[in-house]
């Protein structure tokens, strides 16, 4: 008992100071979405080269349309010679290589519901396709000889009325897992990505082909009212590590996450009594006194605990 107590004490001392930092580190940012205000001041803008996309690309993202009506642009890539290299609105309207691909009459986008959009193109096919929730809505032919111009500006949450500026068509919705790939994904790949769902990590399987990555877009400077939001996706530690064979984690540990989901604990603040009740089977909880038990908490705690035990 003394041993356990002193261990607990030591753990407490070691972790209290760095705790919030520790928990913060574990809040994996790539699981955040971006929520855009609905004014022309609310956007994320940066300059970039696009060399790998010159002859093919796929732009995909999860969108929650919040503003009724057309011309709510969530992404735009503009170059000095064309402002319409890649420019999707949130309703099926799309422009690429100065060519309109208006699929907005083929779909009714519900407000406030996540939808998966993918736009593909390649120089070899001269075909740009618009996909909604894994289904092809339609395609257009792009001008022969025309490739993607490789240097320009990207804006998230609006579009350019002049190169690099003059933003007049705010998106005003939520965006998650927007990624730009340097290849033309085929129908089955697009469908697999949509079917895998909002919280999947399927995009990461594309490696360096995923040229502009969601986790990097989150690091770009935000202008106006653009906030990172919890979209309800969290790291799935059990899936990722499968660690019972490789480390000392006891299998029974995992049943305790379910224990925390019990009414007795869920949504409650971690108290000394709760720690006392759970301590015998799960002493590390003491470090989290004062926290509230939520799904997110359990998810972080799980990760924390696993990291703690396995390393
Ligand atoms: C920021 O945008 C969100 C989403 O449109 C909106 O709910 C919120 O009121 C805006 N905040 C400000 C300070 O304008
Ligand atoms: C983890 O193990 C389960 C069952 O043993 C298996 O179905 C699953 O695919 C594994 N996950 C990973 C990421 O290896
Ligand atoms: C937990 O609290 C949140 C916010 O107060 C509430 O929306 C949710 O329904 C609660 N969940 C349970 C299981 O009580």
64-78 pLDDT, tens digit per residue, is: 999 999 999 999 999
Domain enclosing residue 247, as ranges: 2-26+239-302
Of the given ranges (55-59, 163-167, 280-284), which has the lowest mean pLDDT? 280-284
Co-location of 142 and 243 in the same domain: no
- Of 200, 230, 260, which closes a domain? 230
pLDDT over 90 percentage in the chain: 64
Co-location of 6 and 67 in the same domain: no
pLDDT over 70 percentage in the chain: 76
- Of 178, 204, 230, which closes a domain? 230
| Structure confidence at residue 304 (pLDDT) | 58
| Structure confidence at residue 1 (pLDDT) | 44
Q: Is residue 311 part of a domain?
A: no
Q: Which residues line ligand 3 (CB under 6 A)?
A: 266-267
**Count of the separate structural domains present in the chain:** 2
Q: Is residue 69 part of a domain?
A: yes
Q: Is residue 307 part of a domain?
A: no
Nearest CA to ligand 1 atom 10: 37
pTM here is 0.68
Co-location of 108 and 226 in the same domain: yes
Cβ 242 under 6 angstroms from ligand 2: yes
- Of 230, 258, 273, which closes a domain? 230
Nearest CA to ligand 2 atom 4: 242
CATH number, position 154: 2.60.120.200
Nearest CA to ligand 3 atom 12: 267
| Structure confidence at residue 57 (pLDDT) | 98
Pocket test of ligand 2: the residue of 200, 202, 239, 254 to mutate, having most ligand atoms within 8 Å of its CB, is: 239
pLDDT digits (tens, 9 = 90+) for 123-163: 999 999 999 999 999 999 999 999 999 999 999 999 999 99
pLDDT digits (tens, 9 = 90+) for 192-249: 999 999 999 999 999 999 999 999 999 999 999 999 999 999 876 444 444 555 544 4
Q: Reply yes or no on whether the pLDDT at 287 is more than 70.
A: no
Taking the alpha carbons of 285, 288, 294, 299 in that order, is the dihedral positive or negative? negative
| Structure confidence at residue 308 (pLDDT) | 46
């Amino acid at each position: 008992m003394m041993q356990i107590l002193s261990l607990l004490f030591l753990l407490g001392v070691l972790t209290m100071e760095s705790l919030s930092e520790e928990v913060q580190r574990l809040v994996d940012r790539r699981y955040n979405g971006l929520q855009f205000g609905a004014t022309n001041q609310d956007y994320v803008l940066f300059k970039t080269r696009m060399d790998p996309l010159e002859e093919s690309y796929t732009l995909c993202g999860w969108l929650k349309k919040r503003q009724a009506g057309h011309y709510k642009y969530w992404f735009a890539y503009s170059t000095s010679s064309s402002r319409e290299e890649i420019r999707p609105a949130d309703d099926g309207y799309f422009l690429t290589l100065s060519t309109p691909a208006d699929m907005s009459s083929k779909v009714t986008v519900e407000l406030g519901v996540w939808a998966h959009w993918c736009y593909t193109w390649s120089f070899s096919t001269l075909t740009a396709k618009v996909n909604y929730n894994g289904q092809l809505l339609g395609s257009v032919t792009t001008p022969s000889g025309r490739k993607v111009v490789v240097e320009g500006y990207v804006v998230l949450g609006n579009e350019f009325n002049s190169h690099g500026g003059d933003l007049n068509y705010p998106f005003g919705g939520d965006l998650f897992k927007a990624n730009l790939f340097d290849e033309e994904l085929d129908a089955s790949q697009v469908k697999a990505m949509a079917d895998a769902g909002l919280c999947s990590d399927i995009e990461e399987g594309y490696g360096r082909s995923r040229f502009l990555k969601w986790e990097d877009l989150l690091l770009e400077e935000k202008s106006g009212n653009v906030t990172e939001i919890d979209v309800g996706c969290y790291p799935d530690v059990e899936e990722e590590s499968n660690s019972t064979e490789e480390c000392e984690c006891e299998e029974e540990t995992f049943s305790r996450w379910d224990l925390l989901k019990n009414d007795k604990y869920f949504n409650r603040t971690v108290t000394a009594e709760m720690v006392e009740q759970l301590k015998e089977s799960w002493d590390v909880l003491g470090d989290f006194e004062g926290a509230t038990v939520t799904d997110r908490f359990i998810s972080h705690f799980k990760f924390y605990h696993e990291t703690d035990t396995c390393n």
